[in-house]
Amino acid sequence: MDIQITRPQEIEARSMAIIQEELERMGPLPPADRLPVVKRVIHTTADFDYRDSLWFSPGAAEAGIRALQAGAWVVTDTNMARAGVNKAALERLGGRALCFMAEEEIARAAKERGETRAALSMEAAAALDTGGAPLVLAIGNAPTALIRAVQLMGEGRLSPALLVAAPVGFVNVVESKALAEAAPCPRIVARGRKGGSTVAAAILNALLYQAAGR
């Protein structure tokens, strides 16, 4: 066994080249504005199903890049997703990454109301004063967060520059993503049961790297 590629940048570059080659063998490539996101998610998951299951509203990738270049505040539904976002790149653009899941007030209100902390986290996102910075939502775990976010948009209380909808699982997952597809904002949706915090973070990072000129 001859292992020659060991440097992180070389490993990533070779991985992306392999992904590109395999995508080309599968047929027509995704549109150019979506390809970096698709490749980044496949790089993170080694799952080529995302070639077809990632759905983009028209102009969603460009809207996300513009928002990040304008110093967007990114709110995630899990601390794992927040940890996965490249915060160095985000901060270079003047942005912030936030997650409200572990806050005592959120936990207390969720218990009193019999709702999930993830759902109430979206209410906290709606109440944020970003000082004019765009808001980006990256939901990679909880369908309840996605459902509440769409409800808040319908009520006019939340208007994200981009919604990343990638919850994972079996209960209300597909249904919540169907709601997200009809949401009144730019959106990227991982259709079906698959997704997760790592997928949400990968989508954000793909856009971040383009926004930051990596």
Task: Name which of 173, 190, 191 is nearest 37 in CA terms.
Answer: 190
Task: Point out the catalytic residue in the list 15, 20, 35, 43.
Answer: 43
Long-range contacts of range 151-154, CB-CB < 8 Å, 24 or more positions apart? 152/122, 152/123, 152/126, 153/183, 153/184, 153/185, 154/184
43 in Cβ contact with 202 (< 8 Å): yes
Q: Is 43 a known active-site residue?
A: yes
CA end-to-end distance (rounded Å), the chain: 33
Query: Which residues are catalytic, by number?
Result: 43
